Structure 1
């Protein structure tokens, strides 16, 4: 297990995401990937809930510390004796009493010390979990951002395909009218157009779903999404990625801190059979409010009494029915569980890192191959149309060539999306896809250590926080997503060759 304090330097490797204020002002309605990440960082409820959960986790440290601090208690009683026995000549009719007691734990067998240590380790584990949550949310935002771009491109490609097939059908019908083609050619064109319109409806539904997913994560509708920037500092090999992940992945750090906490829990359990020493100081005051009588006429008695006492209490457990040893064995077994969980987490991170790296590399090769296929199918479609004009190719050949051209375009768009998302997943697995790495703009980053520093030494009983308020924005007023696609070139596809739109 690695030392959690030994980490590789973290560079702000997404400097390419930064957009100057002038550019942002000139394109106020355009949305960049950095802007989407910043909005999610500020408003995503998964993140805001995780921060609140970590603040609750911070409070375990002062809670455990309180068991080793002095405690002071007071009490006040007023008694009215409604019925006084007939032979109790000196019983008071009423009284008021007050008392105070100070209790100071001196030795608790190490229970408090180990409980505080365990709580501190769990705070560090929680902070690592918060980092992991940030990376997870950011990965989802990147995926949603790219899904919208991909599905917009697919809708555009399908719209163009429907337009082309309608033109084909009209031309085929015209040629059928003059006897140049048969009814079969017209039927084939009609069938392909109907299928293309169905594919377009499916693509539009997918686009709506992707936009709604984006709204759920970011809190706003995606508007004029800009091309995603390159992801710098990607590892050269899978082993490089794994080495960085083993040193920086927040899941591994959290699991390591939980191992440390479980070991401290063993010390807490062992303290249950150790002697315990505490000191007490108490005092009391009684006032009978003039109702106390001596029982002898003419003889008065004091109506007030006071007392004070100090002492030391030593408790030595002798026999507890085997409970202490059971608690120790239980803590030891949970420590073993934490150790094995650490190993499992490390395995998962290694597998995820290698898998994401392999997916990224595979999609890069798919992009290169599919780009060649798109170019080849474009030439093929142009050639088939030319050959059809001289009667050496059929209408079905044109329809097939158009479908193959569309299919490779869709595959290319999907591969570009998959490659970018997989590359970001590699960075996330390496522990380099968190807010402090991404150069999030718009305000100071949330620092969980600041809240811990604020509360860890708090001993005042009335230091409450303000009433909880909703932090994340809701989306009830965000308009429902539609399948409209703005005019212009999609970042994932270049301009369509006008010659292929005939």
Structure 2
């Protein structure tokens, strides 16, 4: 009796939660996506990594810019050897090296021609920035796909928990009725045992459903950053293709993984050109100067109080032999370009397969929804009929138990099919390259644009232009509560 009351209370609680969801502000799928977009550590970490890739352009440009340096030294002569100097009459021994001096030197070197290594390295770095930006787009789509899956998992598992709770409650009623009828001799002990066994199995299924719901809630929390409370039924997804051919055509044009692989391939081509430049002549201009002050310790007969000098000129370096390094570097770059070409083709193959697979799964899930909806309606009618026939003695208790199990299975399959169809549809849109923040209508003023950082750093010149100490952009979930098996509000069909 207490157990039956507990399951009735659970059902009433679920109904209350569902009613409150209509009046209170429930979290939408868009809300969940916005939270993940702002604070998911995988996504914020990928943005930080891309900012590091942006700096490769400035680093490559630095090799073609002038370099300047100064140095200074203080020298104290510990041991000096006097020199014999003729005075015209005799030889005298004097010190020609002052005991101490201060020297300052400065130099400026300006690269003029470096065989194309710098220019090609800069072009390769720029293309890798574009490749990284497309990888960032892919990460964004992947996170959004995971959030959609987690969102739908919580809704599905909440409904499955409720269905199992209702099934347990119904089986408890059946068991009580079977025991009462056994007491009056209307049923056998076998009938009671069958009801008891089916109830025990239903309770085990209910406990598994609860554990799965907790797991889904925790996965949602890890992705979004906050636990789910009440979730609204997600809206329909726009932009779904009519045929797999249309989907593939769009993906070949817009999928970020394909674009990233193509840019990486083009960057590798510039790496080859940069490696080949190592055997070409190099030309640079230079100027340097020095100043030495003897700190009033000089011998005025030999040296003056100071010494200064300056030079300017050009240096032409023609490599003759470098131990085979340039050839090895070029061959290595060619091998890496070859690998990048193959990886580009592999990315294209993978995306085509993913799109076609997602399209097939989505279509199958839609058909599955119709079939399972029909099965669920038929199972409801079948259960009512079996109960009616049992009341007149033409059906057994086992027939009722089987009909109830079929009804539960059909309803579970229906909510699972609805989840699978929505997730497959979003996966298809993501594979086509249209599941990013801009595509989904997130607030444009809050969007992260990787080009902003790239434009800011690509032409920086100063050595002391350091970044500030970083802080966490994502949020921690250590203070969130452990999730329970209480179902989330069930969306209306």
TM-score where L is the length of structure 2: 0.91
CA contact (8 A) 1:29 1:223 kept: no
What does 1:349-364 align with in structure 2 at a 5 Å threshold? 349-364=351-366
1:123-158 Cα distance to aligned partner (Å, 9 max, x none):
000000000000000000000000000100100100
Structure 1 unaligned blocks of 5 or more: 1-24, 495-502
CA distance in 1, matches of 2:105, 2:306: 13
Q: What is residue 465 of structure 2 aligned with on the other side? A: 463
Q: Could you say if the C-alpha distance between residues 321 and 91 of structure 1 is closer, same or farther in structure 2, counting changes exceeding 3 Å? A: closer
Distance 1:92 1:223 in 2: 85
Superposed counterparts of 1:193-208, under 5 Å: 193-208=199-214
Which of these residues, 133, 137, 160, is aligned with residue 139 of structure 2? 133
Q: Contact conserved, 2:96 with 2:303, CA < 8 A, in 1?
A: no
Shift of 1:322: 2.7
In the alignment, which residue of structure 1 is the partner of 2:439? 437
SS of equivalent residue, structure 2 residue 166: helix
Mapped contact 1:38–1:442 kept (Cα < 8 A): no
- 402, 413, 416: which one aligns with 2:415: 413
The 8 Å contact of residues 73 and 101 in structure 1, kept in 2 or not, is answered as yes
- 1:384, 1:288 → 2: CA distance? 115
Q: Is the 8 A contact 2:251 2:432 kept in 1?
A: yes
Determine whether 1:81 maps to 2:77: yes
Aligned length: 463
In structure 2, which of residues 290, 298, 316 is the aligned counterpart of residue 292 of structure 1? 298
Task: Give, in whole Å, the separation in 1 of the partners of 2:286 and 2:429.
Answer: 58
Distance in 1 between the 2:65 and 2:23 partners?
A: 59
- 1:478 equivalent to 2:480? Answer yes
Residue 63 of structure 1 aligns with which residue?
A: 59
TM-score by length of structure 1 reads 0.90
Q: Quick check: 2:438–2:444 contact (8 Å CA) kept in 1?
A: no
Structure 2 counterparts to residues 27-106 of structure 1, below 5 A: 29-85=25-81, 89-106=95-112
Query: Which ranges of structure 2 fall in alignment gaps of 5 or more residues?
Result: 1-20, 84-93
Cα contact 2:51–2:453 (8 A) shared by 1: yes
- Once the two structures are superposed, what CA deviation does each residue of 1:20-79 show, in whole Å capped at 9, x if it has no partner? xxxxx9966411000000000000000000000000000000100011110111111112
Check the 8 A contact 1:115/1:265 in 2, yes or no: yes
TM-fit CA distance, 1:183: 1.0
- SS of equivalent to 2:371: helix
Task: Give 1:303 shift.
Answer: 1.9
Q: Alignment partner of 1:357: what SS?
A: helix
Q: Give 2:403's match in structure 1, choosing from 401, 404, 409.
A: 401
SS, match of residue 103 in structure 1: strand
Among 89, 107, 118, which residue is 1:112 paired with?
Answer: 118
Match of 1:232 in 2: 238
The alpha carbon displacement at 1:340 in A equals 1.1
1:18 match: none
Counterpart among 403, 417, 426 of residue 424 in structure 1: 426
- How much does 1:302 deviate? 2.1
What secondary structure, in the 3-state scheme, does the structure 2 residue paired with 1:336 have? helix
Report the 3-state secondary structure (helix = DSSP H, G, I; strand = E; otherwise coil) of the residue aligned with 2:296: coil
Instruction: Output the CA distance in 2 between the equivalents of 1:275 and 1:410.
Output: 74
C-alpha contact (below 8 Å) 1:117/1:261 kept by paired residues? yes
Displacement of 1:323 after TM fit?
A: 2.3
Q: How far off is 1:207 after superposition? A: 0.4
> Which residue of the partner structure matches residue 177 of structure 1?
183
Alpha carbons of structure 1 residues 377 and 27: separation in structure 2 relative to 1, 3 Å: closer
Aligned to 2:173: 167
